[in-house]
Chains A and B, each alone.
Chain A
């Protein structure tokens, strides 16, 4: 409980700082300006996403099979992800992190965060994951339009996210309206595969 509270406090402080920054529009203390704070907020959002997304039953071997979050490419989070997921559980499932530079290593994950370092390979990555029920998340402009499911972006220095529900539907992923309500809805570009 103490550890949990500690995380909440840390998380809370981080969020508060972020909100303060975004509300008053402070130049030096915004999320974009301090990478650590930015990724703390992004890790918290990742956790919230997992809570409002429902995977098909076949994605989990057992009732308590953990939700695996994969990080593909250069990891911008460092230990922040583990700290954020520590002591958390969604529908009785724990959260574990798996890192790799090879997409093949992460095919068993439920969520894959595609790092900026993979911007060149987004098309290939998404294609290789076409038949899986993996939630792809990134922070690259046009990621959602290319067939990715969730993408972070900044609007007036506020962290926002876009969701491509059309891409999620064939994968059997159900995204809660609560989550959709908070996102900018995008569709797959005609040009994308």
Chain B
């Protein structure tokens, strides 16, 4: 197509008009010939079918009677096809599909098949054949076969092709003559515009303008061309301004990039440190995790022990309670001893009082003895004066005097005993008091002991409570430590991720640094 592209517009137009005319004419011709071919084929088939049916209708009686003379009649009937010069021959088959009668045009080389082909029509390259049934009373009694050449169709086709060719030649000649004149109003303004354009291109003088011919598309093109030239003029001025501002912007960009490069280097350094720190943190976290695990073991042990202590304390509480009970029993016993001692002391005092009464009685008895003695003496004196009559008195007085003496002796003896008793009583009272005091002290001490045991029991109870609380809190502690341990595990994972992230960050920062340097190198080329 290069030849066409480089062709002048003038000739291009001619070629286009010519091609259009030729294509339209050719298409119309082909359509006409195609339609004609289809129509004439259809007409031919219809004609042949009608002919075959007519011939068949005429032959029904001959086929029915099927005698020798009927064969001759069929041949006579078929000879009618000579009227159409395109029919090559015809043949009638009986209902057993055996050839019954036939006719072949003189000079035509036609041989009929032993059996009729299927009903309908068929076109071959050289001829058309039509096979039709012969019916009588809706009953097939035979078949007719007709063959015709295609000369009629071919000759018609030739005539039509000739007409189309002739029309084509005439159209081309007319187009050549007319296009030279018709294309002028189209080509001239284009050529003028092209001349102005090449002048502007050579001189770079954008102030030149093309002359406008009309208001058609070429007129619009001329307007647009002129407008474009104005735009170019304007654009040249603004281009220079833009160039300057771009230089400034480039400078600013270079500065920014320098800052970016140094910043990215710092980021890289920081991120390297960060990566190292993250690695250290990870190590520390691992160690801490181990420690927490150890702590957990320890807490487990201490929790166990606290439980033991709580149990022991409980037992001590029970023991101290029984101690307290014993102390209270002791105090009670002491109280009873004190009461008994007191009653002993009372008895002793009463004994002492009665022994004193006894002493008074003894003194009275002593007086009585002394007075009896005196009376006895006086009685003896009187008895002596009374001589012989007093002699008996003297003996009685003597006896009373001895009784008084014996009384006095007995009283003395009682007195002595009483003294001893009084002495012993005094000692006993003393001892009783002593004992009473001792019991008092014992009671006091027992009370103190009871209080001490009470205090001890309270303390032990508190201690047991404390131990129970310790056990509970150490259980809680264990839970807490477990939480700490799992938290440490999460921290460990997090710090592992942290390490990975820090490494990625480091890589990214490294790339950023490289990128910044590349950018710097790139921009340095634009430095003006």
Contact = CB atoms under 8 A, between A and B. Distances in A.
B137 A91 contact: yes
Interface string A10-25: 0010010001001100
Interface string B128-150: 00000000111100000000000
B66 to A, nearest CB: 6
Interface string B57-73: 00011001111111000
A89 B64 contact: no
Interface stretch (A54-62, A78-86, A175-183, A184-192): A175-183
A193 to B, nearest CB: 32
Given A9-B96, A22-B68, 12 more contacts: A12-B96, A19-B68, A45-B65, A48-B61, A51-B137, A89-B139, A90-B137, A91-B137, A178-B60, A182-B61, A182-B69, A182-B70
Nearest to A8: B95
A90 B68 CA distance: 25
Given A51-B137, A89-B137, A90-B137, A182 B65 contact: yes
B67 A19 contact: yes
Given A52-B61, A91-B137, A176-B61, A15 B66 contact: yes
B95 to A, nearest CB: 6
Nearest to A16: B66
Interface of A: 8-9, 12, 15, 19, 22-23, 45, 48, 51-52, 89-92, 176, 178-179, 181-182
A31 to B, nearest CB: 12
A90 B67 CA distance: 21
Contacts of B61: 48, 52, 176, 178-179, 181-182
Q: 6 shortest A-B CB distances, which residue pairs?
A: A178-B61, A48-B64, A90-B137, A15-B66, A12-B96, A48-B65
Contacts of A19: 66-68
Contacts of B96: 8-9, 12
Nearest to B66: A15
Nearest to A178: B61
13 contacts: A8-B95, A12-B96, A19-B66, A22-B68, A48-B61, A48-B64, A51-B136, A90-B137, A92-B138, A178-B60, A178-B61, A182-B65, A182-B69
Contacts of A48: 61, 64-65
A181 B68 CA distance: 14
Interface in B67-85: 67-70
